[in-house]
Structure 1
């Protein structure tokens, strides 16, 4: 269990913030996620990161990409900026020794077909792979909101099929997004349907992480609205089943709930760990 932590004051501070939450995994932004241009990593930052990360399993660190990046954009200027950002972020991960990089796939913005957008996203990944060595691009399932890609698991599968090096692509499952997309994770049948579809459509070999979020909305409302664990429509019983799912062992289970403090996240981590059947 872990959470999204702050890297304010220096990204190496993420480890201290994770420790305060008793997080065994974490996500973070490696740069200002609301700007296209970021200051390059300097040697001092890289050194401090490596010193802080010595005793932390790197496969349990899952950086999150910028929300402004759209790797399937039909607008040439936005597509170029997005591709440049992806490359720069993968290069950051390489310098820091982080094996994964998670991001929202993209959006048609209503101007191209969903299939064309998926192919464009895959090509964006291929271009970044050609210029980097080993960081794995981790696609996130979405909520079927608007023109976003990835709420339908078949769209994630289509992207993966068009990535040349499939050893360098994976998926992060977001519980709120899945619930909003139409899988009722508050019920055993809904969770089993989601797990069955993921196994058949994507394949468990591609799972790289889980975002643990309750949902403010009902199943199938297509609204990406995160809620604190147990306060939303998935509920405690739903998360008890999720926490005891054998498929989710040894991957980062990361909270992105509305807490703004380490203390709040720490309480939710303890709550979820307490749901594990001994």
Structure 2
């Protein structure tokens, strides 16, 4: 039985990343179970390169289930690519392996009537610069878009949380990829709230939220925003750490999500929860409580139009912040200790450099 009834007529289209165990057709029923109006899934194993072809019966049942339960596979289903795929790697064997897996996913989307497909842009390898990695992603996308098996599927670059060699940690990275894609109708962005927050884009106050949306529009263009991953963050602002938290319990807080769901330009886009649903039973064993997603979906829908000065909002905000307090403090302590360690190492390196310079000056002076 469904844990929650799906909301009809909501201005936001929200759901979660559900399981497709046993076949892609089961993802539809798993979304119905939690009362979702949108959903994500893995089209095959996320941790293996070799996967059997999609079962034609599963494909037909997926289409039938979508029709029966009134889901638009074209608009509100957003599969997630395997974490193994790295389109930025130029090494021939690795590039071929990643591309083949990527194109296979696009073919599956096309056969399922799915238009939107989300993937992590990738990581640069030591032998390539950031610009080279970005250009390689664009070249792989152009190749895939030109293949008839990909249909008209729109490939969505996901915003990422980390810097370093990870592509997607800045809006400029994604804009650069899009700029090099030939068919602009076949490329877009999936914005992950946890990721952008960790990467240094704030969403917590009305002004901060407006600034981030404005920057996205200026750098990338809101016309390229096709989907969102809706997650709070266990890690603090600008930490570069990808740690999802339940809505309202993390450093983003409930106000950030009020800002999100009350932004008219985002209404109608699929919003997909990837929040943790693991809980421990009386014996300490971890189990999944899908009721968490069901409740979060209803909560996000209820925030649309809610008065943030109301007792209802303030009470809910306080309860959720209290629930996540210990985890926020634990991660903040990790971040603080790492920063102190990094600062100490930087200071030692600076002193060592000064010492070498002084010795060199003394040596030259002695000559």
Establish whether TM, by shorter chain, passes 0.5: yes
Assess if the C-alpha contact under 8 Å between 1:145 and 1:223 holds in 2. Answer: no
Q: Distance in 2 between matches of 1:45 and 1:15?
A: 11
Q: Does 1:123 align with 2:139?
A: yes
What does residue range 77-116 of structure 1 map to in structure 2 within 5 Å?
A: 77-116=93-132
2:60 counterpart residue number: 47
1:57 to 72, 97, 101: 72
After superposition, give the CA deviation of every residue in 1:137-165 in whole Å (9 maximum; x if it has no partner). 01101113442101110110110011111
Shift of 1:263: 1.2
Secondary structure class of the residue paired with 2:60: helix
Shift of 1:75: 2.8
Assess if the C-alpha contact under 8 Å between 2:261 and 2:267 holds in 1. Answer: no
1:225 counterpart residue number: 243
1:273 counterpart residue number: 301
Shift of 1:185: 1.7
1:21 to 26, 29, 34: 34
Shift of 1:190: 2.1
Q: Which has more radius of gyration?
A: 2
Shift of 1:261: 3.2
Q: Which moved more, 1:144-153 or 1:17-26?
A: 144-153
Secondary structure class of the residue paired with 1:274: helix
Shift of 1:25: 0.2
Secondary structure class of the residue paired with 1:144: coil
Secondary structure class of the residue paired with 1:53: helix
1:166 counterpart residue number: 184
Q: Distance in 2 between matches of 1:256 and 1:113?
A: 31
Secondary structure class of the residue paired with 1:32: coil
2:223 to 205, 217, 223: 205
RMSD of the alignment, in Å? 1.2
Moved over 3 A (4+): none
Q: Distance in 2 between matches of 1:146 and 1:225?
A: 17
1:239 to 257, 262, 270: 257
Gap change, CA 1:109 and 1:227, over 3 Å in 2: farther
Secondary structure class of the residue paired with 2:303: coil
1:190 counterpart residue number: 208
Assess if the C-alpha contact under 8 Å between 2:234 and 2:244 holds in 1. Answer: yes
Q: Distance in 1 between matches of 2:63 and 2:230?
A: 27
Q: Distance in 2 between matches of 1:64 and 1:263?
A: 22
Shift of 1:124: 0.7
Assess if the C-alpha contact under 8 Å between 1:145 and 1:224 holds in 2. Answer: no
Assess if the C-alpha contact under 8 Å between 1:255 and 1:265 holds in 2. Answer: yes
Assess if the C-alpha contact under 8 Å between 1:17 and 1:262 holds in 2. Answer: no
Q: Distance in 2 between matches of 1:16 and 1:70?
A: 31
Q: Does 1:70 align with 2:86?
A: yes
Q: Distance in 1 between matches of 2:34 and 2:58?
A: 23
2:290 to 262, 266, 277: 262
Q: Distance in 1 between matches of 2:185 and 2:201?
A: 28
1:2 counterpart residue number: 15
> Per chain length, whose mean CA-contact separation is higher, i.e. which structure has more relative contact order (CA < 8 Å, sep 6+)?
1
Shift of 1:30: 0.5
1:180 to 178, 194, 198: 198
Shift of 1:243: 1.1
Task: Give the length in aligned residue pairs.
Answer: 278
5+ long unaligned stretches in structure 1: none
